Chains A and B, each alone.
Chain A
Amino acid sequence: MEFMQQQFEQLFGVEWGAMLFTLATNMTFIFTIIVPLLLGVAYLTFAERKIIAYMQIRVGPNRVTFFGIPWLRGWGQPIADAVKALMKEIVIPTGANKFLFILAPILTIMPALAAWAVVPFSAEMVLADINAGLLYILAMTSMGIYGVIIAGWASNSKYAFLGAMRSAAQVVSYELAMGFALVCVLMMSQSLNLGDIVNGQQGGSMLHWYLIPLFPMFLVYFISGVAETNRAPFDVAEGESEIVAGFHVDYSGMAFTVFFLAEYANMILVATLTALMFLGGWLPPLDIAPLNMIPGFIWLLLKIAFLLFFFLWFRATFPRYRYDQIMRLGWKVFIPITLVWIVVLGLVMQLPQTVREGFPLNLWF
């Protein structure tokens, strides 16, 4: 690193060299996040089709090979899908506002990717170690809704407009439940920095993860995450049987694919945040010899994969909620539960420090 920095300073002068060096290192880091993320998104669609297929006792995509290797049958499917989407015409309907119509997918994917800037992948692997990390993520996930509303309005189609309204109302409602659940996590961790939140869950075993004292908040957060990404069983915004595909009904080709990418990137983001805040992030479940030899990064990936499996499982299992049921669940069930839990947790926090440290499972026993 030092050597590289000196090279830069020799080439461009001391001041410019240092600036260009930070730019280059940051860009490298950003690409090592974005490229695996986009590959992960592509293969999440493949995993979704495969896993739901096996749950329905069929095989799923198993024809498209990779470099003709016979035992990778099916693994070329996401790549083939991407190439196909690239070759499809982008239809811009008459009456649509062209500029906003094209801007909307970009506005959706930009925050979905940018939220990853503050996600720590292990104790040292974090791009921007800012103190307002969680607040930043909350802001970015709220930004995504602009793309949806603009897309629904710009298409000049009634289905798209209705889908956008539904989607916006649903996302903001569940955002509240999510925010209140986060307040409970913050009361435990006393920090907004995601790295500090994971470090606060250290203590030798999974009994110290926030999952255990905050179990109802874990459920509220994860289910709100499913609703916030408009995934089944909360996918009324795109309910095929009533408003065909919701806000992106008039999108085609690559413009549609960008919305699709953003949705799956958001799914991975919600799973990652749940793993970081409730499942101990990169910490092993037991701090003993064979388990803590495995790098923390691997543990985090395993937890994310485990939570993503739930997203797919929900989709294969539950029938779709009705819209009024969704809004009732958000406003009349989740928000009261979280409010009560904040008060209870605040009362427990008033106990002396020594009493609280004696009981890591403070709220249950």
Chain B
Amino acid sequence: MLENYFPILLFLVVGFLVGAGCMIGGWLMAPNRPDKEKLSPYECGFEAFEDARMKFDVRYYLVAILFILFDLEIAFLFPWAIVLDEIGLFGFVAMMIFLGILIVGFIYEWVRGALEWD
């Protein structure tokens, strides 16, 4: 069973090596002549006037939090979907109750405007 995962591990290593190989190839073949102007961060020709590690909109946090919640929901739905034929009506009703609770949360987010982007 677990030995089926060996090719995946190997594939991850090969994928890393393809990426690293491309970068090393570029580093070996390409010229490297830096100067102060070339290395300055791109801001449409102007000098950068503050650091780029700045504050950002709280809505990105909100999306990330909602993603964690809903991704967990998907994690619970996957095993349920696979055995749905065996657990029958009882399993279906149980999941509908779970989904119902989450949908109440979703409606709350919607009404409070957590999904608005303007």
Contact = CB atoms under 8 A, between A and B. Distances in A.
Contact of A156 (B8, B51, B95): B51
A339 B32 contact: no
B104 interface: no
Given A91-B39, A113-B15, A85 B26 contact: yes
Nearest to A171: B67
Interface residues of B, number: 69
Contacts of B41: 93-95, 155-158, 250
A86 B18 contact: no
Interface string A146-180: 00000001011111111001001100110110011
Nearest to B117: A324
Contact of B16 (A90, A110, A327): A110
A176 B67 contact: yes
B-side interface mostly: helix
Contact of A29 (B7, B33, B63, B117): B7
A89 interface: yes
Contacts of A180: 74, 77
Contacts of A179: 70-71, 74
A350 B19 contact: no
Interface stretch (A52-60, A69-77, A127-135, A203-211): A127-135
A291 B64 CA distance: 47
Interface of B: 4-8, 10-12, 14-16, 18-20, 22-23, 25-27, 29-34, 36, 38-44, 48, 51-54, 56-57, 59-60, 63-64, 66-67, 70-71, 74, 77-78, 81-85, 88-89, 92, 95-96, 99, 103, 106, 110, 115-118
Given A255-B23, A257-B26, A335-B70, 6 more contacts: A30-B11, A90-B23, A91-B38, A109-B22, A113-B18, A332-B110
